[in-house]
Amino acid sequence: MDLQELIDRAQITDALTRYTVAVDTGDFDLLDTVFTPDALIDYSESGGVVDAYPAVKAWLAEALPAFSRHRLHTVGQVGFDFAEGDDSADVLAYFDNPMRISDGRGGERVVEVGGIYRHTFVRTPAGWRSRRLYEQVVWTRGF
């Protein structure tokens, strides 16, 4: 592994962190620093949409407020597979995402999703951006 690959890994990891911060805080404009404008995002395994980034960004802004602002992603292992001679990388990131939602009786309950984010990142003039995200759900709790 050379110095450039270490830098690339750090920059992609930073993009993964920006993704979770954007979703957890509701700062959806921060997602513009994570995805390419034409990115395809697939949340179908968790009951979400499959669409191009602009439509998914709008959907997230509409759907996530149903959960309290107490969302807290944790990203664990991150794996990188850089394409030889290409400025792209297949990246997987294990995640755990607990969220609080109304229980319908005036209180809240915790629902949780665990899985793997499967991204295809590309190097752009603005840095590494995801052009594809597939959210693979491994388990859920509390739904």
Residue 50 backbone dihedrals phi, psi, to 5 degrees: -125, 115
Per-residue confidence (pLDDT) for residue 66, from 0 to 100: 78
Q: Which of 88, 109, 89, 87 is nearest to 99 (CA)?
A: 109
Indicate the CATH number of 3-141 among 3.10.450.50, 3.30.70.2740, 3.40.50.300, 3.20.20.70: 3.10.450.50
Provide block-wise average pLDDT over 10 residues at a time, the chain (143 residues). Answer: 93 97 94 98 95 97 81 92 91 94 87 96 97 97 87
- 8 Å CB contact between 97 and 112: yes
Measured distance CA(3)–CA(60) in Å, rounded: 36
- Residue count of the chain, please give it: 143
